[in-house]
Structure 1
Amino acid sequence: MTTRRRALIGVAGVTVGGLGLNISPRQAAPAQAATVPSATAADRGKGQAPPPRTVDVHAHYVTPAYRKALLDAGISQPDGMPAIPDWSADKALQVMDRTGISVAMLSVSSPGFALGDAGKTRTLVRLVNQEGADLVKANPSRFGLFASLPLPDVEAAVAEVAYAYDVLQVDGIAMETNYEDTYLGDPTFRPVLAELNKRKAVVHLHPTSPACWEATALGRPRPMVEFLFDTTRTVAQLILDNVIADYPGIRFIVPHAGAALPVMADRIAAFATLSTPPVDVIGALKRLYYDVAGFSLPRALPALLNLVDSSRLLYGSDYPFTSDVVVQALAGQLGTTTALSAGDKQRMFAGNALGLFPRLGER
């Protein structure tokens, strides 16, 4: 964010940088609108932690090693953003406490790890996954981890899935929408998907810049427009090429309220009837999960709710690529929206995530 934008969002209770977001003490924590029960005093005396009030499935971490690797590769403005955001576990926990987030599932955002050398990529992915696991070990009731993979190196990626689950005990896997311009539904990635399917993995998709961004991004940061289209492109490919059907054990999470999928679903479905055999696009979309990170209100979330019900919704902050005060404002909107009932909000903020990550309910 620019200095001017930071100044505009720096005072609670003011409109946030022309985005129409207002922060007030009433809206600060989404958990106020959710009805997940907390532990009684007797439970706390027994050492039982309360169930999560809010689970954030779209939260990023930036370790010193990863930051250095980006800078060494000449990436100081990832995907056209102003800078690599500052991040530390302490800062993240402070934001979580201010926003009512009990648990954040950490992942590495775009541009990921494909920095030009396959050997260095494998080493860096392993190091940053280990750093993420250490963060979870130090804060087991506050953090979870989606491990990264060294794609497009398929053999190394399959090995990293095994290491992530068997050694690091991760909660899921983070995958980008494309790796060096190859999309996830490409046949070359099938061995990785087969391994994830075998492990019934939760896979959080995250957009990255497409191959043609220089021509299509309009000179703007790619998260503005291109990220949503890349998510839409990837999910459409996964459905049309029967990846979703062939690997039913994978629980995919689609970011940013489904990107453009809610408004394009019927169009994609109509064209899919020309396939042999026809592909059930709407049925496949209904089987996916969707985080609501980003600007889901007032338009994107109602559009998504025309496609799926609240049992497929998950909360996401996108911190630190979304700043602290905007995270709080967006969470406040979700906590007070009339587009969702109290039960819908409980499912979105925590209940659905507990189904995907049972260990969170055993804390």
Structure 2
Amino acid sequence: MDQITEFIDMHAHYYGGGIVEALEARKARPFLEPAPGGGRQMVAMNGAFPFTEAYFDPEVGLAEMRAGRLTHRLLTFPGALGVDLLPADEIAADISAFNDHLAQLHAQTDGALIGLAGVPLANMALACAELRRIRRDLGLPGVILPSDYFNTLEDLEEMRPLLEAAQEYGCHIMLHPGLKVGAEPPPRPADYVQYRLSAVDLQSSASQVALTVILSDMLELYPDVSFQIVNLGGTLPFIFERLESIARHRNPDAPFPTERLRRLWYDCASLGPRALEAAVKLLGADRIMLGSDYPIFKDDPVTHALEPADLTLEEKALVASGTARALFERLERLRAAKI
């Protein structure tokens, strides 16, 4: 591992750039309020959590990056909060200002911080216009979108205009757990809520999203769009053989297209070495990137996941930064060819 000098965290979240002030002014979820024991808490769709400087102060994040040997980090718009689902006349200007701030952070940190933007999803015309601006004018790599828009083919249809806009300049899209505009959070489990929601249900959701992408026409219609599936594709590295068996026994003329999984990109956020090993065997290290899910999770992904994984040095180098670098270079070539 001493030979690897670049480590790119491709899954982290950021709530600065004016979002704090916007949420302080709100009284309905999502919003910020004083915490009972002091400080502040974020009241989100699935409950409240302590809101510390790690969420909005880039200097705090940079210090933790350096402590964990991370050289670069992809910061995303806080899509899981549902900010991008709010009425466009209420939030569109704040989202644009946040995206401008991400571009400024990239310049101010000599490229150490890379921004994944948000768009106002309640107004598709505005969302498409902002996506074009993100790629054409700001040079940000892409956007984060709520994965509930990709749970089924019917859900996907609502995203067609945005995907067509993404195709114009090439675009990277992280499909992250999140609701659709107007949707209510699903009923909470009766027990063990954190484990059932944040692990079992989330991993299943990531798998559903990946299935929609590879089984639909998305890869053919939007070849210049790269899709990032979080958390190593959910349960896919562990159930792909069952998927193949189902097709072999029930649809022998239509094998399950396992090879299409390698046309997506994945991060290992909040997972460990055993999961990473399984994913590399199925998907290839050239499709997998580091991820921390910072500041929600604070484990250093280099020490926690990559270093102890039973992978070759070449595979570790790809996961550490090689896959992400190749992705960024591809996106810049696409953008440069079209502006």
Bucket of the pairwise TM-score, normalised by the shorter protein? 0.7 to 0.9
> Could you tell me how far 1:124 is from its partner in structure 2?
2.5
Tell me the residue number matched to 1:26.
Answer: none
Tell me the residue number matched to 2:36.
Answer: none
Residue 297 in structure 1 maps to residue 273 in structure 2: yes
Identity fraction in percent: 23
> Could you tell me how far 1:161 is from its partner in structure 2?
0.9
Relative to its length, the structure with more helix (as a share) is 2
Q: Deviations over 1:281-318 (max 9, x none)?
A: 312211111111102333x2232133211111101121
Tell me the residue number matched to 1:254.
Answer: 229
Q: Distance in 2 between matches of 1:230 and 1:139?
A: 34
Q: Distance in 2 between matches of 1:360 and 1:180?
A: 22
TM-score, length of structure 2 as denominator length: 0.80
Tell me the residue number matched to 1:229.
Answer: 204
Tell me the residue number matched to 1:82.
Answer: 49
Q: Deviations over 1:201-220 (max 9, x none)?
A: 12222112685631448462
Q: Distance in 2 between matches of 1:215 and 1:105?
A: 30
Tell me the residue number matched to 2:37.
Answer: none
CA contact (8 A) 2:17 2:97 kept: no
Residue identity matched to 1:93: L
Residue 96 in structure 1 maps to residue 49 in structure 2: no
Q: Which of these residues, 71, 74, 90, is aligned with residue 105 of structure 1?
A: 74
Moved more, 91-100 or 125-134: 125-134
Between the two proteins, the alignment pairs up a number of residues equal to: 309
Residue 135 in structure 1 maps to residue 135 in structure 2: no
> Could you tell me how far 1:98 is from its partner in structure 2?
0.4
Q: Distance in 2 between matches of 1:357 and 1:270?
A: 36
Change (3 A) 1:67 1:266: farther
Change (3 A) 1:338 1:138: closer
Q: Which of these residues, 146, 152, 158, is aligned with residue 128 of structure 2?
A: 158
Tell me the residue number matched to 1:58.
Answer: 11
Q: Distance in 2 between matches of 1:139 and 1:279?
A: 47
Change (3 A) 1:320 1:212: closer
Moved more, 97-106 or 170-179: 170-179
Tell me the residue number matched to 1:25.
Answer: none
Q: Deviations over 1:94-114 (max 9, x none)?
A: 011101111111102312424
Q: Distance in 1 between matches of 2:294 and 2:279?
A: 22
CA contact (8 A) 1:268 1:281 kept: no
Residue 144 in structure 1 maps to residue 110 in structure 2: no
Q: Deviations over 1:1-36 (max 9, x none)?
A: xxxxxxxxxxxxxxxxxxxxxxxxxxxxxxxx2624
Tell me the residue number matched to 1:30.
Answer: none
Moved more, 138-147 or 229-238: 229-238
CA contact (8 A) 1:232 1:259 kept: yes
Residue 352 in structure 1 maps to residue 323 in structure 2: yes
Q: Over the residues paired in the alignment, what is the CA RMSD in angstroms?
A: 3.1
Residue 177 in structure 1 maps to residue 147 in structure 2: yes
Tell me the residue number matched to 1:319.
Answer: 294
Give the unaligned 5+ runs of structure 1. Answer: 1-32, 38-52
Residue identity matched to 2:16: T
Q: Distance in 1 between matches of 2:287 and 2:69?
A: 21
Residue identity matched to 2:77: V
SS at match of 2:140: coil
Q: Distance in 1 between matches of 2:153 and 2:22?
A: 24
Residue identity matched to 1:99: G
Q: Distance in 1 between matches of 2:255 and 2:170?
A: 23
SS at match of 1:77: strand
Tell me the residue number matched to 1:193.
Answer: 163
Residue 285 in structure 1 maps to residue 255 in structure 2: no
> Could you tell me how far 1:359 is from its partner in structure 2?
9.5
Residue identity matched to 1:214: P
SS at match of 1:141: coil
CA contact (8 A) 2:286 2:318 kept: yes
SS at match of 1:146: strand
